[in-house]
Structure 1
Amino acid sequence: MLRIGLTGGIGSGKSLVCDLFARRGVPVIDSDAIAREIVTPGSEIAEAVIREFGETYRDVTTGGLDRKALRRLVFGNIRARHRLEAILHPRIRLELSRRQIGLDAPYCILSIPLLIESGFGDLVDRILVVDCPESLQVQRVMSRDGVTQEEAQAILASQASREQRLAQADDVIDNTGPPGDLEDKVERLHRQYLVWGRTTHRKDPAPDLPES
């Protein structure tokens, strides 16, 4: 099965693009959903994170992780982020592979927001980047999450740059315009991925996408 790694910076529109593929019957495996599942209160991974960072990061209400406090820590501390990734990433990799077992489809989408940063590229056959200008990402994150411009920019700064993602991309969806513009772009790639998924031509050039 052809494995498409879908990625993009925060606010780029990854979730919407994933939804459009899912509506076409494409299996979508979401690494963010996996990350949330493996740190549910009382889970082995959640307790390992709390042992690593201390009881300060235990949510007194649920007994699980205080995700907001941990997020604030790792956004501003590269060393702490690497310590957290050392705990989470092996399990996330395992689940990304495990959830492909038994799928019956020409291709699947592996939604991995930090695909470039995490070194998960070996798990996919092609990289699809959902792209838009960073200024638009900031606006969307501020509107969606109710954060300040400085907070949104700090999140972007903790991720791979737009240039780094595009340099690794096999395919790109430009999400600069309104959501309705994505339908045709996803449909064209979907049709091509169906062809590639049924053949061995996985690294053929992607089709030209319509202009925004």
Structure 2
Amino acid sequence: MLLVGLTGSIGMGKSKSAELFAAEGLPVYDADASVHALYEKGGAAVAPLGKYFPDAIKNDAVDRTVLGQLVLNDSEKLQKLESIVHPLAGQMQKDFLETQEAAGKKAVILDIPLLLEKNAEGLVDVVVVVSTSPEIQKKRVLERPGMTEEKFLSILGKQMPDAQKREKADFIVDSSISIEDAHRQIRDIIRGLDAFPARALEVRKTLMK
């Protein structure tokens, strides 16, 4: 089973690209959505996060806005957050891969925002980077509810520059023109996947032993 890593900096159009891959029949694992599920009432991350970030727990769930403010520009708190959430999210991803492999899927999309920042490209067979111009990126991000330029710049500072991501990509989706154009590009990418060997899943299994 081919593992396709889908990534891109904030505001580049990665989430919409994931939807377009799904529309073409490829199962998508959404790393952000998995974390959201961990934060919801009854989610596995609520109790452990409550021990270290009690102010972020509201109505038995994690308030992501408050949590984000608590770790903003605080590397120590961010590391603690990641040490709690990443293993839980990793198990969810493992379960997804096992399910799709058992179903006989030939390829899956792993929608992982920080794939390249975490130097995890060796855990996928193909890297797809979604990109657009800095002007379009900034406009999209600042239109989000609760977003400020300060927060945008802080997030951007933690992400690998777009130019470096493009250099590491096997395929690039240019999201600057239209959804229809991006969809065309994605169909072309899917047709090109047959040229790549599926090795990453076996690498993952070795690491998980």
State TM-score, norm by structure 1.
Answer: 0.83
Q: Would the aligned equivalents of 2:37 and 2:43 in 1 still touch at CA under 8 Å?
A: no
Distance, in Å, in 2 between the alignment partners of 1:100 and 1:201 is 13
Which residue number corresponds to residue 73 of structure 1? 70
* AA matched with 1:80: K
* AA matched with 1:160: M
Cα deviation, 1:116-173, whole Å, max 9, x if unaligned, reads: 2234334311211101123321110112335233332222223222133223322211
Which residue number corresponds to residue 173 of structure 2? 173
Name which of structure 1's ranges 126-135 and 113-122 shifts more when overlaid on structure 2: 113-122
Q: Which structure 1 segments of 5+ residues have no match?
A: 203-212
Distance, in Å, in 1 between the alignment partners of 2:81 and 2:162 is 24
Which residue number corresponds to residue 92 of structure 1? 89
Distance, in Å, in 1 between the alignment partners of 2:60 and 2:147 is 26
Distance, in Å, in 2 between the alignment partners of 1:148 and 1:23 is 32
Work out whether 1:114 is the aligned partner of 2:111.
no
Alignment of 1:124-203 (within 5 A): 124-145=124-145, 147-193=147-193, 195-196=194-195, 200=197
Residue 105 of structure 1: CA displacement? 1.9
Runs of 4+ in 1 over 6 A off after TM superposition: none
Which residue number corresponds to residue 206 of structure 2? none
Work out whether 1:56 is the aligned partner of 2:55.
yes
* AA matched with 2:71: V
Identity over aligned residues, as a percent? 31
Distance, in Å, in 2 between the alignment partners of 1:70 and 1:21 is 31
- CA root-mean-square deviation: 2.1
State TM-score, norm by structure 2.
Answer: 0.85
Which residue number corresponds to residue 79 of structure 2? 82
* AA matched with 2:31: S
Which residue number corresponds to residue 203 of structure 2? none
Aligned positions, number:
197
Which residue number corresponds to residue 20 of structure 1? 20
Distance, in Å, in 1 between the alignment partners of 2:52 and 2:198 is 45
Distance, in Å, in 1 between the alignment partners of 2:141 and 2:5 is 22
Q: Would the aligned equivalents of 1:46 and 1:65 in 2 still touch at CA under 8 Å?
A: yes
* AA matched with 2:37: E
With over 3 angstroms needed to count, the CA separation of the structure-2 counterparts of 1:31 and 1:201, relative to structure 1, is: closer
Residue 6 of structure 1: CA displacement? 0.3
